[in-house]
Structures are given as structure tokens and as C-alpha cells.
Amino acid sequence: MDISEITYTPSGHIFITPQDNPRRIIDHILETGYEKEECLALEFDPAFALGLMAEGFLLMSGPVGMDTSVITALVPKHHVLRSVLFFEDLHQSRSIKRFLPRYVLRADADFDLIIDKCIAVHGDGWLTEPLVNLIRAVRARHDPRTRPFSFGLYREGKLRAGEFGVISGRVYTSYSGYYEESSAGTVQMILLSRWLKAHDFAFWDLGMPLDYKAKLGARLLNTADFMRIFREAR
């Protein structure tokens, strides 16, 4: 790829527009060893966002300075190290197993409520209103290959925990989650992993590395290794 085709901001971030090919942006990241995790974009367009999701970008958002003003930008992100769970590596502690029968996991139920609860628990630092509206608009397109999706954990018919993310082919990528009672978050992750395996997903993309993901059995992959298996599974 001709490097002149890629636009950079003064801060050194790749700047992506709807006219760019997201796959070629990823190839450029791999070829050049791009050291930043974030790219920047200004268009909150559903078709544009769908194309980015389909190439493995995590979509975040946040304020950036433009000339003399501050605006909310779209932040397509690729973690330098990606936390990935292969289902044969799933670790289930003895202490959590007794909680599993108390809950029921439901796929793609209460999507809007789960997003609202994630914001209520974690705030809107990156899950801004423009991004939430964009995710909902992408979901409304009902694309058969790439679509926002949610999982809810219920006990006695009430939602106790939930998370949402993006399905692209045979990969599910987590975006955000929450829980309202002790152990519910861990139970949800175990039941979600089982659901993904039962529905022939290749792996679970957990995003940025964190200790609780490693304890669940997740491995760390660099961008090149992640994109290789992502493209195979997508």
C-alpha cells in the first residue's frame, strides 16, 4: 500500500473517513507497526461503522480538540495486545459452579436496557450519546454477518447482569458489561462462553487485557496474530 494514501492527524493518529477501505487500514497498521491503539474519525455513519466493525475495530468515542473547539470523535481502536478466550481454555472455579444453576442466560434480549445499565454503572466517558445512537443504528440495519448483540443474565425472571458487543462472522467481541449482585458477572461470562461454543463461534474477543479475563483462561495475542484468526473466523 502506498503510505501516502493514509492520512495522519498532527498527533500521529491514523484518520479514517467513509471513503477509506477499513481492511486496507488494518493492513497498513500491520505493515508499518503502527504503535498507537487508537485511530480517529469524525463520521458517525452506520454504514461506515459497520465496515469498521467487520474488520475488527472496536468503536469507542471521546472528545478531541479541533482548531479552537472540542468535538466528540469516533475512535476506532485496535489493542496492541488483545485478550482472547478459546473455549477449551475456559476456567471454572469450584466455588462458582454452585451458582450456575441459579441463573439463565438469554441471547439478544433487552439490548437497549443493557446498554443503559452499562452507562449507569460505568458512566459515558467513552460510551457517549453519539456512539450509543450509532450502535443502535448499526443494529437496526440487521446485517446478517456483523451486528451489535447483547446477553442478559436472569435470576427469578429479573435481569441481574448483562453485556453487549458485536458479532462478526464467528467472532463475538465484548464492548461493555455490568452486574448487580455478587458472582453474577462471573456466572454470566461462563454461561456466555458456553453459549458461544454451542453456537459454533471460533473464539471470544475480550478486548483489552485485564486480570479477571486471564483468570477466566484468556490468552494475549498481538495485532498480527489476532487479525489472522479474526479474518479466518469472520
Instruction: Indicate whether 95 and 54 sit together in one domain.
Output: no
Alpha-carbon distance of 59 to 52, in angstroms, equals 8
Domain count, the chain: 2
pTM above 0.85, yes or no: yes
pLDDT digits (tens, 9 = 90+) for 113-135: 999 999 999 999 999 999 999 99
> Do 113 and 158 meet the contact criterion of CB atoms below 8 Å apart?
no
Q: How far apart are CA 76 and CA 118, in angstroms?
A: 20
The C-alpha cell at 104 is 439463565
| Domain co-membership, 152 together with 41 | no
pLDDT averaged per 10 residues, the chain (length 234): 73 96 96 94 98 97 77 95 97 92 96 98 95 98 97 97 98 98 95 98 97 96 97 95
3-class DSSP assignment, residue 208: coil
Query: What is the Cα–Cα distance from 46 to 42, expressed in whole angstroms?
Result: 12
Backbone phi, psi, residue 5, to 5°: -75, -15
Is the domain of 18 the same as that of 90? no
Residues of the domain holding 124: 81-233
